[in-house]
Amino acid sequence: MALMGKRVLITGGGTGLGAVLALRFADEGCAVVIAGRNADALARVAERHPSIRAIAADVTDEAAVTALFAGAGPCDIVIANAGAALSKPLVKTELAEWEQMIGVNLTGVFLTFREGLRQMPDWGRLIAVASTAGLKGYPYVAPYVSAKHGVVGMVKALALEVARKPVTVNALCPGFLDTEMTDRSVANIAATTGRSLDEARTTLARVNPQGRLIDPAEVAAAALWLCQAGSDAVNGQAIAISGGEV
């Protein structure tokens, strides 16, 4: 019950990992605010728990992020989870696609963390959901990999800025998750290679030495641990949740 009454803001809270995080923190007694661009998806998650409320916001829009935190109120825990992926060879990647990936996956974290830290009370936790793509390279997703490496670098820098405060900054770096985003990657692999959906999914699962996709509940458990007593010295870390991939 250590988190009872803490306010948590989670971006990208309408689907996948964000929804799992929201429900898990709400079950721990937190007041949870979820944000994202899809108001309908947010509402469906909020309907599942009385301690969850939704605010539609685009994390790439500076004014929208400012308004998001004004509407949420001071937050003890801020989880920058919003993200998107695009698979293409670098030579076929348009500048607009590069900017889109950097915008949602890196600039969105910057804006979320900056505003979150500005209004954070004495104790706080900033958690970025990065990826194993922030720790290594993958082919055909260079803009995504670049953005996630940037997130890990930002976490390490900001952790030093707040090190004398009761605030920590960390990144969670899961491998391929069993979520809607991975479903889209599976469909793309199947469409471009001619493999079946099951074969494409197996290809991604094999990247994990355990031979499986990561359950979002495993990432939520790590996020909760970073917010519990005994985690104060864990600061500036990029924690791989990947079955030993990295």
Active site residues: 144
Residue 213 · residue 178 · CB < 8 Å:
yes
Residue 72 · residue 51 · CB < 8 Å:
no
Query: Domains, the chain, ranges and CATH?
Result: 7-173+215-235 (3.40.50.720), 176-213 (no CATH)
Question: What's the pLDDT at 189?
Answer: 80
Question: What's the pLDDT at 25?
Answer: 98
Question: What's the pLDDT at 242?
Answer: 97
Question: What's the pLDDT at 184?
Answer: 81
pLDDT digits (tens, 9 = 90+) for 129-161: 999 999 999 999 999 999 999 999 999 999 999
The residues facing 79 across adjacent strands are 10, 127
Residuewise pLDDT in 10s, the chain (246 residues): 689 999 999 999 999 999 999 999 999 999 999 999 999 999 999 999 999 999 999 999 999 999 999 999 999 999 999 999 998 999 999 999 999 999 999 999 999 999 999 999 889 999 999 999 999 999 999 999 999 999 999 999 999 999 999 999 999 999 999 888 888 877 878 888 888 888 888 888 999 999 999 999 999 999 999 999 999 999 999 999 999 998
Note the residue count of the chain: 246
pTM of the full structure: 0.95
Single-letter residue type at 76: D
Q: Give φ, ψ of 71 to 5 degrees.
A: -75, -30
Question: What's the pLDDT at 1?
Answer: 63
